[in-house]
Amino acid sequence: MPELDAIQGLHPRFDQDRRLLVLDLEHGKANEMGTEQLAALESLCGLLESNDEVLCLATTSRRVSKKGKPIFIAGANVTERSGWSDVDVKAHVIRQRNLMRRLRRLPVFSIALSHGVTLGWGAEYLLTCDYAIATESASVGLPETGLGIIPGARGTAELSHRVGPAQALRLGCTGEIIDAAESLRIGLVQEVVPDLDAGMARVEAMAESLRRRSPTAVAAFKQALLDGLGQPEEVRLARESEAYEHTVATGEAAIGRASFAQIRAGETPQWGPRRKR
């Protein structure tokens, strides 16, 4: 995929057989997210919104500090803001917030595999992904209020939907750092695995399942579900109806019906390209 050149700062690795794109983060002192990384992620969004080769996106890191501590994302790059005006800072955070929303709405299944320190922006990144896996070495926290700010890239807007208001207030107000087991208990992550290799094996298994499915149907399911969150039943059902009819109108339902025996035998039919609604 030559288009990956635009996101080289995120160290992309494309597994064509599984149609899995892995971002192996390794930048800065501790994978802190700054202006350069935001630009790379914006390029990534453009690629995944227009290209249907990728069905699964996974983000992880094998980064280890000098003291041997694993790092996923240690937070935003606050040091680059030295000398910025209040206007500059506000504009930068708005850009982050818009990017996070765009990442959340990508028409692919996205997985975060958190290994090690996952603070601030890193914790918020977990909320953009469809599924979050943590290794036993993961530690998650929101230290922003100790810096005189708040988590401004989904931390207040989305965290309570994931873990409930009490746990969100606990994390955001106290800055308490929690381990993988506690992150699983409160619902911030969905699985805990022993180590990074076990986590990647899980990611690859999920990608293999996705590879066998219609890209149009996967994207339609995701859009309908997200559009229905927090909405009354009639709205949720309307979004479901629209998504289902989209799969019929694009011919994917017909392919599924014609290939039913093949699918039951474990084979993958020739699905069409991902079609936008």
What are φ and ψ of residue 163, in 5° steps? -120, -5
Contacts with 252 (C-beta within 8 Å, 6 or more apart), sequence order: 214, 216, 217, 271, 272, 275
Q: Read out DSSP for 200-215?
A: HHHHHHHHHHHHTS-H
pLDDT digits over 65-77, tens only? 999 999 999 999 9
In a domain, 239, yes or no: yes
Total domain count, the chain: 2
**Residue 189 is which amino acid?**
V
Same domain, 138 and 104: yes
CB atoms within 10 A of CB 263: 16
Q: Give residue 9's pLDDT band: very low, low, confident or very high (50, 70, 90).
A: confident
pLDDT digits over 107-161, tens only? 999 999 999 999 999 999 999 999 999 999 999 999 999 999 999 998 999 999 9
Same domain, 206 and 240: no
Same domain, 184 and 218: no
What global pTM score does this model have? 0.95
Same domain, 67 and 39: yes
Same domain, 251 and 180: no
Q: Could you tell me the CA-to-CA distances from 127 to 3, 53, 182, 202 in Å, in that order? A: 26, 24, 16, 19
Give the pLDDT of residue 6.
75
Contact 274, 236 (CB under 8 A): no
Same domain, 197 and 240: no
In a domain, 87, yes or no: yes
Q: Is residue 2 predicted with pLDDT exceeding 90?
A: no
